[in-house]
Structure 1
Amino acid sequence: MQYLNVTEAGELSEAYWKVNLVQRLNTSVASSPYFNMFLVAQVKAHDKGFLSMEIDIESMLENRGDIHHLFPKNYLIKNGIVQAQYNQIANYAFIQQEINIKIKDSLPAHYMTEVIGQCNTKKPVYGGIIEQDRLAENLKKNCIPDGFESMEIGDYQDFLQRRRELMAEKIHQYYDSL
């Protein structure tokens, strides 16, 4: 046990969680062990998929749920973003197929405006979330940074950095829960 404590103190300092892990999440490799650890943290927390009210990440992993580009790939390509940037794991979220199909190539500012609107009208368009507090919880559990609902191309790099930080914090919380 002493060996574990010494190793943790040396290897898993605050600098690891706040800097090193965030940098390791800066990758386009979907099979990254860091992305997989993020998904494990979501499974342990029983998180629902992005914009999903019912289906959790574990079910999506078991049944091959869709991986959604939060900033759509085609939008990023049209704006000169290269593959290594548009396929960043910080741009991925597990999502129900029917929600992914409806979003298609819409910008976050467009589809999130509609999602927020469905909380006012109580008529779901994207998923079943029709309450503002449930939407806020879903975005938090999926590590979506504040302000995402109004982001455009100029916000993309900042979005990636902020999301990596949130993902690293979720992994850290998971590790501390073990």
Structure 2
Amino acid sequence: MTSRPMRMAGPALAAALVLPALAATPAGAEEEIIGSGEYRMSCAPCHGAGGRGDGPVAEFLEGGAPDLTTLSERNDGDFPFRQVVQMIDGRIDVRAHGGRDMPVWGRRYAAEIGGPDQQWDSLATEQLVRGRILELVNYLQAIQQPSDGNGPLLSARPEGEGTMQNGAAAAED
């Protein structure tokens, strides 16, 4: 039979662990776009916090860093999903893109995930690499600007449709 203090310890311990986490996220805080953390860590030094090619490292790159918020605009309004995946991954040579100043993130991510101390099988490593790349692509798609410059494409709500968030349509309330 468990004593009363021991029975009370479970809920008290759970509350002590959960309440600080809830307090750390303010009510009504805007949901972070999937991939934004990966973008800040991997891309922002060159492409800038807003993706406009104005990061602190851009001035040292031959030709600078491209504006990533206009990928759709530069492709007749369509986000070039496959080309963006290939460019970020970099393990497949894409001749149409010319020279490559950008790191080969696919190789770099694979090395981080399956480093010398890890015994990951190649399929699991590849799935994790692709997941990180897809996070970045999701974020880049979310920050696309319309040609009139009036804000991100995914924040607009067409008449009679749900809003776009994290790359997927949300249902009407």
Range of TM-score over shorter length: 0.3 to 0.5
Q: Which has the larger radius of gyration?
A: 2
The two structures have a TM-score, normalised by structure 1, of 0.32
The two structures have a TM-score, normalised by structure 2, of 0.33
